[in-house]
Amino acid sequence: MDSFEQEGNGAALESLPPPPPVPPDVVPIKAESDAKKIVRHPMARRGVGTKGQKVTILTNHFKVSVGSTDGHFYHYSVSLSYEDGRPVDGKGVGRKVIDRVHETYKNDLDGKNFAYDGEKSLFTIGPLPNNKLEFTVVLEDVAPTRNNGNASPDGQDSPNGRERKRLRRPYHSKTFKVEISYAAKIPMQAIQNALRGQESENSQEALRVLDIILRQHAAKQGCLLVRQSFFQDNQNNFTDIGGGVLGCRGFHSSFRATQGGLSLNIDVSTTMIIQPGPVVDFLLANQNARDPYSLDWNKAKRVLKNLRIKVSPSNQEYKITGLSEQLCKDQLFSMKQKNTKNENGEAETLEITIYDYFVNHRNIQLRYSADLPCINVGKPKRPTYIPIELCSLVSLQRYTKALSTFQRASLVEKSRQKPQERMNVLSNVLRTSNYGAEPMLKSCGVNINSNFTQVDGRILPAPRLRVGNGEDFFPRNGRWNFNNKKLVEPSRIERWAVVNFSAPRCDPNNIARDLIRCGEMKGIRIDPPFDIFNEMNQNRRLSPVVRVEKMFEQIQSKLPGAPQFLLCLLPDRKNSDLYGPWKRKNLSEYGIVTQCMAPARVNDQYLTNLLLKINAKLGGLNSMLTIEQTPSIPMISKVPTIILGMDVSHGSPGQSDVPSIAAVEILFLIIEFLLLPSIELIMEVIEA
């Protein structure tokens, strides 16, 4: 073993001989660091557009000027814990604690304002007095009284003296320990660098700080925060989309580095919230039930869990943990007697129902709670039961489950806005947000222009289409009308059938006859349907999945083989519960092409649009761009080209178990024969 391994680095260096002298005719070369700083520059434009009609466009960006860029944002890591060392994990608690730190220790913090993200990061302009600071703060909250079900929810007329003593002070204190540790500093100059195209990690971090300031500003105004979207508790922003769910309109707000400089991007945004108000009203809407006595309480228990309620008449706020196992009139708990003691000197207990306690001991009249379960706001082993009609859901609670087809259609319909209405909303948002009064934005010298940013745009001429018989035609007002036009490649339909879930709203025979007639006008030859399957009356009250199964039993019993396609007549337009199960059964299980329609206001124009979809699904070609029939396509026909198309689909809200699926399509345009070997090599690599 050599001396280096025996004695460590220092001993090894001392034992080495000195380096040889540098010859007089040799000029030393300065070593360069291998770590090269990556500077990203935006892609240079080749020029501006020249085609089409020039037009001025208003964008939902508001120009921002930054007065001070000499200082630094200081980034601090925040650690919150209770007095006993347990970490704080409740949402919303962090902001209250940091606000109390700012109020209590303002002088110790040199009067610095905070930009806090609500979790682990805090930013200031300029440094705090020390790199590590520790504070202790106390928050007072309304005490959620718990006494194995005995405690009175509004803190009045408690069953025993000890409880009365405790409830004389309606607030209880919680002590928090706060550690703020230096993490990094971000030069404000990075914002200006980003605007000059010298974008770096610091630039992104600096813009992130500005966005955190916006979030904090919205939080102080009592908004619901969903990333960079903010939603106010305003009835005018709510719209009922069914099932006890409201669409809540808010706005998105974030800073963006653009070619024109720094801008504030504001846009309308919509999220789903639980209908606030009496719990029973929400459950009736959610389950579409006639009265409280026909509710499915297992379903109610799942949907109510963890929602926040306010209890009457105390107006205290709680989180729902479950429901009572028995009805309010049957659910017993042990109430301690005030003046009766046993032989051990302890207060005796009386078994009493929740209903009897509230009606006879609290003098609170209950109209319908006796025959319904109670809301539990306690712990599983220490429940606190409250009659359901005394409970109201707090506003601005997000609904994160998947929407039904009806709810999605309703949300899209009610969220639609005309451009002028949208502009008025955004102008009002900027005015009411009052960003100019935000202390940290003022410290940065941020000034937001109240006018929409104007940019130049161009209206390009609509492309010319080629239809059947070599005929060209142009769109009018952005629309193509296929009336009196033949299709480029019409399909032939020989084996098909009609499935009618809509009877007796329509005559499927008339629809089949009119479809054949319109198909002939488009060049599609359609044979008469093999059969028309009408849903049996006794099946219409079944669930959508079972209705589809019953219909397929009819189809399989009569059709000799798989049809080319099935025309399905649905009872409701856009939002039928049958649509999903029907599509899944046809496409996923049997691979049968199907076309759904709602038989309301069926005319030739409607049937023509329907035939365009059917023809495309069956492999036909409705139309093509005129340019596709020319020998050369601009750009890509003159050089060897590979076109890649990429897309990612995500699960719908409330479907966290559905993975995101990425798809890549590769199209090779082989222009020269010499490219074939290299293309084949690429294909071998892809297959490998």
Name the residue among 640, 537, 457, 532 with its Cα closest to residue 51: 457
Confidence at residue 9, expressed as pLDDT on a 0 to 100 scale: 40
The whole-angstrom separation of Cα 112 and Cα 121 is 15
Which structural domain, as residue segments, surrounds residue 87? 68-142+172-221
Residue 253 near residue 266, CB atoms below 8 Å: yes
Residue 623 structure tokens: 């139309």
Both 569 and 506 in a single domain?
Answer: yes
Name the residue among 284, 79, 69 with its Cα closest to residue 191: 69
Confidence at residue 245, expressed as pLDDT on a 0 to 100 scale: 94
The whole-angstrom separation of Cα 495 and Cα 169 is 80
CATH number at residue 252: 3.30.530.60
Residue 377 near residue 318, CB atoms below 8 Å: yes
Whether residue 299 is contained in a domain is answered as: yes
Confidence at residue 388, expressed as pLDDT on a 0 to 100 scale: 94
Our measurement of the distance from residue 488's CA atom to the centroid of its chain's CA atoms, rounded to an integer in Å, reads 42
Residue 184 near residue 206, CB atoms below 8 Å: no
Whether residue 499 is contained in a domain is answered as: yes
The whole-angstrom separation of Cα 276 and Cα 677 is 67
Whether residue 485 is contained in a domain is answered as: yes
In the structure, what pLDDT confidence band is assigned to residue 347 with cuts at 50, 70 and 90? low
CA-atom Rg of the chain in angstroms:
35
Confidence at residue 75, expressed as pLDDT on a 0 to 100 scale: 94
| DSSP H or E segment with residue 534 | strand 532-534
Residue 560 structure tokens: 């000799």
Both 569 and 485 in a single domain?
Answer: yes
Higher pLDDT, 26 or 641: 641
Residue 508 structure tokens: 């499927």
Q: How far apart are the first and last CA of the chain?
A: 49
Beta strands 277-278; 385-386: pairing state? unpaired
Q: Which residues pair with 376 in a beta bridge?
A: 322, 385
Confidence at residue 575, expressed as pLDDT on a 0 to 100 scale: 67
In the structure, what pLDDT confidence band is assigned to residue 686 with cuts at 50, 70 and 90? very low
Whether residue 6 is contained in a domain is answered as: no
Instruction: Please identify, among 626, 647, 663, the residue that sits at the C-terminal boundary of a domain.
Output: 626
For the four alpha carbons of 283, 289, 290 and 294, in that order, the dihedral sign comes to negative
In the structure, what pLDDT confidence band is assigned to residue 12 with cuts at 50, 70 and 90? very low
- pTM for this one? 0.71
CATH number at residue 366: 2.170.260.10
Confidence at residue 271, expressed as pLDDT on a 0 to 100 scale: 93
Both 81 and 95 in a single domain?
Answer: yes
pLDDT(243) > 80 = yes
SS3 316: strand
Taken as a whole, the chain contains a residue count of 688
Confidence at residue 376, expressed as pLDDT on a 0 to 100 scale: 94
Both 328 and 236 in a single domain?
Answer: no
Residue 526 structure tokens: 């359609």
Confidence at residue 97, expressed as pLDDT on a 0 to 100 scale: 92
For the chain, how many structural domains are there in total?
A: 5
SS3 of 141-206: the string is EECCCCCCCCCCCCCCCCCCHHHHHHHHCCEEEEEEEEEEEEEEEEECHHHHHHHCCCECHHHHHH
Interval 107-154: pLDDT, tens? 888 888 989 988 899 999 999 999 999 999 888 763 333 333 444 444
Query: Mean pLDDT over residues 151-179, rounded?
Result: 52
| DSSP H or E segment with residue 661 | strand 661-669
Both 90 and 209 in a single domain?
Answer: yes
Torsion from C-alpha of 397, 402, 407, 409, nearest 10 degrees: 130
Amino acid, single-letter form, for residue 144:
P
Confidence at residue 341, expressed as pLDDT on a 0 to 100 scale: 65
Say which residues have a Cβ less than 8 Å from residue 161's Cβ, sequence separation at least 6. Answer: 338
Whether residue 313 is contained in a domain is answered as: yes
CATH number at residue 522: 3.40.50.2300
Residue 547 near residue 535, CB atoms below 8 Å: yes
Both 471 and 456 in a single domain?
Answer: no
Both 89 and 211 in a single domain?
Answer: yes
Query: Mean pLDDT over residues 185-208, rounded?
Result: 79
Both 268 and 134 in a single domain?
Answer: no
Our measurement of the distance from residue 484's CA atom to the centroid of its chain's CA atoms, rounded to an integer in Å, reads 44
Confidence at residue 349, expressed as pLDDT on a 0 to 100 scale: 77
Our measurement of the distance from residue 262's CA atom to the centroid of its chain's CA atoms, rounded to an integer in Å, reads 26
Higher pLDDT, 674 or 269: 269
Say which residues have a Cβ less than 8 Å from residue 321's Cβ, sequence separation at least 6. Answer: 305, 306, 376, 377, 378, 379, 380, 383
Both 259 and 329 in a single domain?
Answer: no
Both 335 and 364 in a single domain?
Answer: yes
Residue 459 structure tokens: 């209206």
Torsion from C-alpha of 136, 142, 145, 151, nearest 10 degrees: 160
pLDDT(566) > 90 = yes
Interval 64-78: pLDDT, tens? 888 877 788 999 999
Both 617 and 673 in a single domain?
Answer: no
In the structure, what pLDDT confidence band is assigned to residue 172 with cuts at 50, 70 and 90? low
Interval 461-515: pLDDT, tens? 888 888 888 788 777 777 777 878 889 899 999 999 999 998 666 788 999 999 9
The whole-angstrom separation of Cα 631 and Cα 638 is 11
In the structure, what pLDDT confidence band is assigned to residue 17 with cuts at 50, 70 and 90? low
Q: Give the chain's count of helices (H) and strands (E).
A: 16, 34
Whether residue 151 is contained in a domain is answered as: no
Instruction: Please identify, among 626, 650, 667, the residue that sits at the C-terminal boundary of a domain.
Output: 626
The whole-angstrom separation of Cα 420 and Cα 93 is 40
Whether residue 36 is contained in a domain is answered as: no
Both 102 and 194 in a single domain?
Answer: yes
Alpha helices in 528-658 (DSSP H): 544-558, 579-583, 604-617
Whether residue 404 is contained in a domain is answered as: no
Confidence at residue 496, expressed as pLDDT on a 0 to 100 scale: 94
Interval 38-49: pLDDT, tens? 555 556 667 788
Say which residues have a Cβ less than 8 Å from residue 377's Cβ, sequence separation at least 6. Answer: 144, 153, 309, 311, 318, 319, 320, 321, 384, 386
pLDDT(362) > 80 = yes
Say which residues have a Cβ less than 8 Å from residue 523's Cβ, sequence separation at least 6. Answer: 468, 486, 487, 490
